[in-house]
Amino acid sequence: MTNQSIVNIISNSNYESRRVTKRLMEKLKNRGYQPSLDFNQDAELTIVVGGDGAFIKAINKTGFPSIPIVGINTGHLGFYQEIIPDQLDGFLDAYQKKDYMIENLSLIGAEVFTKNRNFYLTALNEIVIKAQHSKVIHLNLFLNRHHVEKFSGDGMLVATPSGSTGYNFSAGGSLIYPTMEALEITPLNPLTSSAYRSLPNSIVIPGDIITTIVPERRYSNSSLLVVDGVEYTYRQLKKINIRMSKKEIKRVTLNKDNYWTNLKSKFL
């Protein structure tokens, strides 16, 4: 057995996912593959069993690897999870025949500047900055060092194209086709009055533009960063630089039109 025949399986812990994982392991073994429940860097494919949340957690937990990845949906929405459990044999047949496509999904990277240190964060879906304890926050937004606005509201979200269907869409942002090289900046409940003037709608920008978010000094110790649903807090936060990451995720898809099918079936 060579390393090229290793297939990673990452599953969440619900009953249906465990049941599907057991079936999947048997089918892989029967086809000459070596399934691994421990993430193996030498694998030729990673299969995530669960919902979109499981997919996002798996990507983050494994450090955004270059190994192609595909999802089997045992959850609800399933934008990332293309395969349903009843299609296991059909998927494996197509995979062995190389009858599939690789979709490169962009990641978003952020450099967080505090008074004494810098931190680097990467996300598949989005990065959000807001105040702790659901307070209003005041932020200055710069695009390539050009001041765009002084924002006041619940916070600001920067999403990737593939992440535009998640939190971004729920917050009133637009949908962006997943392979486009763009980012979307979406305001979260912006305040618009005689005292506060914030842009009420999203801004879609090229991926190579640097988005800089600077919280007012009084929020330097009370700002909250949410990265793909995981919360981070920093002392003496100065600013955050966000841009499209040079890393990409290679997602295996069987149908190039699956995105449009998902839009109709999940949202309409």
Q: Which domain, by its residues, includes 170?
A: 107-246
Of 95, 121, 118, the residue nearest 108 (C-alpha): 121
Residue pLDDT, tens place only, 169-207: 999 999 999 989 999 999 999 988 777 788 999 999 999
Please check whether residue 179 lies inside any domain of the structure: yes
69 and 192 in a common domain: no
Does one domain contain both 71 and 145? no
Answer yes or no: is 265 within a domain. Answer: no
CATH number where 33 lies: 3.40.50.10330
Q: From CA 48, how far away is CA 197, in angstroms rounded? A: 44
Residues 69, 119, single domain; the answer is no
Pair (115, 88) in one structural domain: no
Provide φ and ψ at 98, rounded to 5°: 60, 35
Over 50: is that where the pLDDT of 1 sits?
Answer: no
pTM comes to 0.92
Nearest-angstrom CA–CA distance, 247 and 160: 13
Let me know whether 89 and 147 are in one domain: no
| One domain, residues 198 and 224 | yes
In a domain, 256, yes or no: no
Q: Active-site positions?
A: 52
Using DSSP, state whether 51 is helix, strand or coil: coil
- Does a structural domain hold residue 215? yes
Residues 42 and 111 in one domain: no
Same domain, yes or no: 76 and 45:
yes
Same domain as 24, residue 83: yes
Domain assignment present for 261: no
pLDDT of residue 146: 97
| ∠ Cα 51 54 59 (to 5°) | 130
What's the farthest any 2 CA atoms get from each other in the chain? 70
Are residues 227 and 129 part of one domain?
A: yes
Question: Could you tell me the pLDDT band of residue 241, with boundaries at 50, 70 and 90?
Answer: very high
Predicted confidence (pLDDT) at residue 4 exceeds the cutoff of 70: no
pLDDT at 127 over 70: yes
Residue-wise pLDDT for 34-68, tens only, equals 999 999 999 999 999 999 999 999 999 999 999 99
Alpha-carbon distance 71 to 66, whole Å?
15
Contacts of 230 (CB under 8 A, 6+ apart): 60
